């Protein structure tokens, strides 16, 4: 087991999901696109950009790859098992291609970037390999394949943010949406392949983010999750242009927020200001974000979260290890004390804030004592959720070059099992602490198990289940009194709003 608790940023239940959208009227080229995605929310968000680019070219989407003319798989390289999964899936596409030799099979995303043209040698059925910054080139690349060639574009960019492409929302409930605010990563954590597969960090135009969130709000969406590998280092600089107006956006307030960072006629928007700008779109639009980096999360961001009711009290703050020596060789650039100081600041400034984390067990040279520091960090923070992984060596990373992957598999597994058990206790503890409290819940739809119940998330990102009421529908907020819990879900009933 690699993953304990799902949330929407890496949702295990969505892995391999195929995306389907309404055809664009008047633009049908008679060809069908099948696209499925693996990995983190950023990849799912990228697949929406890909679908958007190809639907402009007249492609229709299908949920059955056997009927498709173009089959794309948007891949993840973060751990070896993610890549194994994709290779197995490609074997399944081979049968379909045998029946339909004209079918174009393409590999997109991080694995494409990591393996580049080598992919074409290794996987004979693959016709096209496209890295995360080259999606605008897809129409040309498909044309090349149609002309009998195989095609590769894995150029990484220092500028591409796809800011002008309004992503189609795929398989959406019409209530929550992901909005990418930056791409790439400059951090070079020694275990991580992301800086190699997604390139240099760049921040998207702040206005385009606000315009996209405003548009989503106007179309009925009530929650946006701002996405980046390290949202706290978001930084965008531009001379002040005029903001486009939209129902629900408050242009004057947004300009005032921007002017805080004004410098010689330039507006510098950092993550705190961006959060504030998005919070101003409407008090009815919930704002979430992921991922925060412990070295960069500032008190300014924490005060901004505390100031706005619609910025959710939930922070994903990956610790990776609780031991300072291990953090040093992971190149995380903070130590145990720094991390604890950030936790203390969150508790002081946003007392009700839920905190989740990522942990890696069995990193190179980790001793039992150092592992115990991770366990004691879990005791210190009592995380609401955690994603826990065994270290998986990734070719080309700093760790693969510098350190031996020397912790035996059974020890990695034993340490993982220990922290998974510990986290289950703390998740249950955090859930239990909500009993008797009233949670403001955004209704997302019927619960998975029954159409007699609604489900939705609390401000702190806990899943809440409660009986359907005819007075409320998905997309509305309700107050729910929590009566009982499991280790992952709060269960209760709606309290009627006082007029
Ligand atoms: N940018 C985010 C951050 O800094 O925390 C996370 C990015 S990564 C997609 C998500 C998580 O995967 C990381 O936080 C880490 O715990 C895990 N991860 C990354 N590389 C790994 C590796 N080589 N082996 C095991 N887990 C890994
Ligand atoms: Fe990878 Fe570190 Fe960047 Fe996160 S911050 S994507 S773990 S290099």
Higher pLDDT, 459 or 26: 459
Q: In this model, does residue 6 exceed pLDDT 70?
A: no
Across 99-114, average pLDDT: 95
328-345 tens-digit pLDDT: 999 999 999 999 999 999
**The pLDDT of residue 496:** 83
pLDDT at 265 over 90: no
- Rounded to the nearest whole angstrom, what is the distance from the C-alpha of residue 148 to the centroid of ligand 2? 38
Tokens of 342: 């950030």
User: Two tokens at 7?
Assistant: 């949330």
Direct distance between the N- and C-terminal alpha carbons of the chain, in angstroms, rounded to an integer:
48
Q: Which of 123, 192, 193, 115 is nearest to 154 (CA)?
A: 115
The bound ligand whose nearest atom lies closest to the alpha carbon of 331 is: 2
* pLDDT band at 2; cut points 50, 70, 90: very low
pLDDT at residue number 201: 96
Sign of the Cα torsion 180, 186, 189, 190 reads positive
Taking 50 as the threshold, does the pLDDT of residue 261 lie above it? no
Residue-level pLDDT at 1: 30
- Answer whether 187 contacts ligand 2 (Cβ < 6 A): yes
Distance CA 115, CA 77 (A): 10
Does the structure show a pLDDT above 90 at 171?
A: no
Nearest to 255 by CA among 264, 305, 244, 247: 244
DSSP E strand boundaries for 62-173: 70-75, 104-109, 128-130, 151-153
Position in ligand 2 atom list of the atom nearest CA 332: 2
Higher pLDDT, 251 or 163: 163
Instruction: Give the ligand with the smallest distance to the CA of 332.
Output: 2
Looking at per-residue pLDDT, the higher value among 1 and 80 belongs to: 80
Beta bridge partners of 109: 75
Q: Which residue's CA is the nearest one to ligand 1's atom 8?
A: 78
Query: Does residue 247 have a pLDDT over 90?
Result: no
Cα 328 to ligand 2 centre (Å): 14
**Predicted TM-score of the model (pTM):** 0.90
11 band by pLDDT with thresholds 50, 70 and 90? low
Q: Is 314 helix (H, G, I), strand (E, B) or coil?
A: strand
Task: Answer whether 363 contacts ligand 1 (Cβ < 6 A).
Answer: no
Residue 382: the pLDDT is 98
CA dihedral of 333, 337, 340, 346, whole degrees rounded to 10: -70
Greater pLDDT, 6 or 427 = 427
Q: Which ligand is nearest to the CA of 399?
A: 1
**Residue 393 CA: which ligand 1 atom is closest?**
23
Q: Comparing C-alpha atoms, which of 391, 490, 474 is closest to residue 435?
A: 490
Q: Is the pLDDT of residue 352 over 70?
A: yes
Q: What percent of the chain has pLDDT over 70?
A: 90
- pLDDT, position 90: 94
Whether 389 lines ligand 1, by a CB cut-off of 6 Å, is: yes
For residue range 203-240, list pLDDT tens digits in order. Answer: 999 999 999 999 999 999 999 999 999 999 999 997 65
pLDDT at 293 over 70: yes
- Give the pLDDT score at 241: 54
Q: Burial, 404: exposed, middle or buried (Cβ in 10 Å; 0-12, 13-18, 19+)?
A: exposed
How far apart are the CA of 191 and the centre of ligand 1, in A?
8
Does the beta carbon of 131 sit less than 6 angstroms from any atom of ligand 2?
no
User: Ligand 2 atom 2: the closest Cα is on which residue?
Assistant: 189
Pocket probe for ligand 1: among 39, 78, 387, the residue whose CB has the most ligand atoms within 8 Å is: 78
Is the beta carbon of 41 within 6 A of some atom in ligand 1? Answer: no
Q: What is the pLDDT of residue 20?
A: 72
Q: How far is the CA of 185 from the centre of ligand 2 (A)?
A: 6
Least confident of 15-19, 125-129, 401-405: 15-19
Residue 272 has pLDDT above 60, yes or no: yes
- Sequence-ordered list of residues with C-beta below 8 angstroms from that of 12, at least 6 positions apart, any chain: 3, 6
pLDDT of residue 487: 79
pLDDT, tens digit (0-9, with 9 covering 90-100), for 180-204: 999 999 999 999 999 999 999 999 9
Residue 297 in contact with residue 232, Cβ under 8 Å?
A: yes
Mutation test residue for ligand 2: of 76, 183, 187, the one with most atoms within 8 Å of CB: 187
At 439 the pLDDT is 97
Beta carbon of 475 within 6 Å of any ligand 1 atom: no
Residues 61 and 55: beta-carbon distance below 8 Å: yes
Q: Is the pLDDT of residue 124 over 90?
A: no
Ligand 1 contact, 485 CB (< 6 A)? no
> Closest residue (by CA) to atom 2 of ligand 1?
229
Going by pLDDT thresholds of 50, 70 and 90, the confidence category of residue 499 is: low
Asked if 444 and 221 count as a contact pair (C-beta separation under 8 A), the reply is no
Q: 275 C-alpha vs ligand 1 centroid, how far in Å?
A: 24
pLDDT score of 7 more than 90: no
Please indicate whether residue 191, judged by its CB atom, sits closer than 6 Å to ligand 1.
yes
- Tens of pLDDT, residues 436-464: 999 999 999 999 999 999 999 999 999 99
Residue 458 and residue 43: Cα distance in Å, rounded?
25
Query: Per-residue pLDDT tens for 366-402?
Result: 999 999 999 999 999 999 999 999 999 999 999 999 9
Q: Give me ligand 2 centre to Cα 360, in Å.
A: 13
Beta strands in 189-265 (DSSP E): 202-203, 223-227, 235-239, 262-263
| Banded model confidence at residue 168, pLDDT cuts 50, 70, 90 | confident
* Residue 461 beta carbon below 6 angstroms from any ligand 2 atom: no
pLDDT in the model for residue 182: 96
Confidence of residue 260 (pLDDT cuts 50, 70, 90): very low
**Would you state the pLDDT for residue 263?**
45
Question: For the residues 243-272, what does the mean pLDDT come to?
Answer: 57
């Amino acid at each position: 087991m690699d993953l304990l608790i799902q949330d929407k940023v890496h949702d295990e239940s969505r892995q391999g999901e195929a995306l389907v959208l309404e055809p664009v009227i008047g633009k049908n080229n008679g060809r069908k696109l099948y696209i499925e995605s693996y990995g983190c929310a950023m990849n799912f968000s990228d697949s929406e950009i890909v679908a958007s680019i190809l639907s402009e070219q007249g492609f229709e989407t299908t949920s059955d790859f056997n009927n498709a003319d173009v089959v794309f798989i948007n891949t993840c390289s973060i751990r070896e098992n993610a890549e194994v999964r994709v290779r197995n899936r490609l074997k399944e596409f081979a049968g379909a291609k045998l029946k339909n030799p004209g079918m174009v099979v393409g590999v997109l995303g991080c694995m494409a970037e990591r393996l580049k043209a080598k992919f074409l040698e290794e996987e004979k059925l693959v016709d096209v390999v496209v890295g995360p910054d080259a999606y605008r080139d897809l129409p040309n690349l498909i044309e090349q394949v149609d002309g009998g060639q195989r095609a590769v574009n894995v150029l990484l960019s220092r500028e591409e943010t796809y800011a002008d492409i309004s992503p189609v929302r795929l398989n959406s409930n019409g209530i929550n949406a992901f909005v990418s605010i930056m791409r790439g990563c400059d951090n070079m954590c020694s275990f991580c392949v992301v800086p190699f597969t997604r390139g240099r960090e760049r921040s998207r135009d702040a206005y385009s983010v606000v315009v996209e969130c405003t548009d989503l709000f106007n179309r009925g969406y009530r929650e946006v999750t701002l996405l980046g590998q390290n949202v706290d280092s978001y930084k965008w600089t531009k001379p002040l242009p005029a903001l486009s107006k939209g129902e629900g956006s408050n242009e004057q307030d947004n300009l005032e927020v921007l002017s805080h960072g004004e410098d010689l006629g330039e507006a510098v928007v950092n993550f705190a200001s961006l959060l504030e700008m998005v919070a101003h779109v409407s008090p009815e639009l919930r704002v979430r974000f992921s991922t925060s980096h412990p070295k960069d999360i500032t008190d300014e961001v924490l005060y901004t979260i505390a100031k706005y009711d619609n910025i959710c009290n939930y922070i994903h703050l990956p610790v990776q290890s609780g031991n300072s020596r291990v953090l040093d060789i992971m190149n995380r650039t903070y130590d145990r004390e720094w991390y604890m100081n950030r936790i203390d600041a969150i508790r002081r400034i946003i007392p009700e804030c839920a905190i989740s984390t990522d942990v890696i067990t069995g990193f190179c040279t980790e001793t039992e004592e150092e592992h115990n520091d991770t366990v004691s960090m879990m005791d210190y923070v009592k995380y609401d959720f955690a994603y826990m992984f065994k270290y998986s060596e990734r070719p080309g990373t700093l760790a693969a070059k510098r350190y031996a992957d020397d912790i035996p598999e059974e020890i990695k597994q034993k340490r993982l099992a220990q922290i998974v058990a510990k986290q289950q206790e703390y998740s249950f503890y955090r859930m239990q602490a909500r009993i008797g409290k009233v949670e403001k819940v955004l209704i997302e739809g019927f619960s998975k198990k029954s159409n007699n119940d609604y489900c939705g998330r609390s401000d702190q990102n806990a899943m809440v289940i409660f009986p359907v009421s005819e007075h409320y529908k998905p997309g509305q907020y309700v107050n729910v009194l929590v009566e009982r819990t499991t280790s992952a879900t709060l269960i209760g009933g709606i309290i009627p709003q006082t007029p």
